[in-house]
Amino acid sequence: MNACLAPLVLIAVLLGAPAATAQTGGLPFRDGSGPIEIAVDGSVEWQQKERIFVARGNARARQGEVTLRAETITAHYRTGKDGGTEIWRIDAEGAVRIASTDQVATGRKGTYDVDKQLLVLTGKPRFTSGTDRISASGSLEYSQVRNRAVARGNAVAMREDRTVEAETLTATFEPDEKESDKLKRLVAVGRVVFRSPNEVFHADRADFDVAAERLKLEGSVRISQGGNELRGQSAELDLKTGTSRMRGGRGGVQGLFVPKAVSLPEDDTGREGKTEN
């Protein structure tokens, strides 16, 4: 049975008024408690047989400080252990944007598994947490339980003047003193390129401790600074002090150092490097 409802409704009303206040489940980036407010410019359907609630046409959902926007939002629900109604999955499609006070996630499609607290975005997904930005061409998963984001396919992570590119990026966050999530650790795998203001690092795998500013590189390591370059199998770098240690495999460590050009002083005739007899 499909029921077209008013353009602005509360999901608590749709799910049965007073009894629905005990519902669980909700949007990412929060504990999932409290009612979800739904607003649309198009139509809202309640498909009781399929146990889904569909909002179409510039749909908006809000739960506390979290908002979800998309062209279509579908909420899957079930009967909980206490007899109340639980939302166990939320699908969004078309210009998806999920935002809290300090986190924003975007993509073309999104699915949030409420039980696992797992958000999966596809279609050039983007994730921002404070000053940290992560993007990918494939998919991006955010686990609320682990406070971890995994970007797959041409993944890029950015913070201020540093950028990491790889096939897959796994970012772990932790709350700071202001209870905002900040990047704690970043693991990059596959064609890794780490760019800082003065150096470029290449490797098969990188493990970056963001707080300590320590970087570990493994596999076909190459460090470039200006025209200088070091090659080896692994390296450990302290980005605070600018010190590094590289180890080589069978071929050892190889280096290329390009000296700066030295200008010869001009003589009294103004001709560089020549004197008259």
pLDDT digits (tens, 9 = 90+) for 255-271: 766 666 555 566 555 55
Q: How many residues comprise the chain? A: 277
pLDDT at 225 (0 to 100): 85
pLDDT at 37 (0 to 100): 82
> Cβ neighbours of residue 77 under 8 Å, at least 6 residues apart?
15, 25, 51, 52, 53, 85, 86, 87, 88
SS3 category, 11: helix
Query: pTM of the full predicted structure?
Result: 0.81
Tell me which residues of the chain have a pLDDT lower than 70.
Answer: 1-25, 30-33, 177-180, 251, 256-277
Euclidean distance between CA atoms 148 and 27, whole angstroms: 16
97: nearest Cα among 83, 86, 107, 111: 107
pLDDT at 267 (0 to 100): 59
pLDDT at 249 (0 to 100): 72
Domains along the sequence of the chain with CATH = 1-93 (no CATH), 124-255 (2.60.450.10)
Reduce the secondary structure of 66-83 to three states and give it as a string. Answer: EEEEEEEEEEEEEECCCC
Contact status, residue 76 vs residue 89, Cβ threshold 8 Å: yes
Q: Which residue has the tokens 């959902």?
A: 61
* Phi and psi, residue 131, nearest 5°: -95, 0
Q: Which residue has the tokens 């198009």?
A: 42
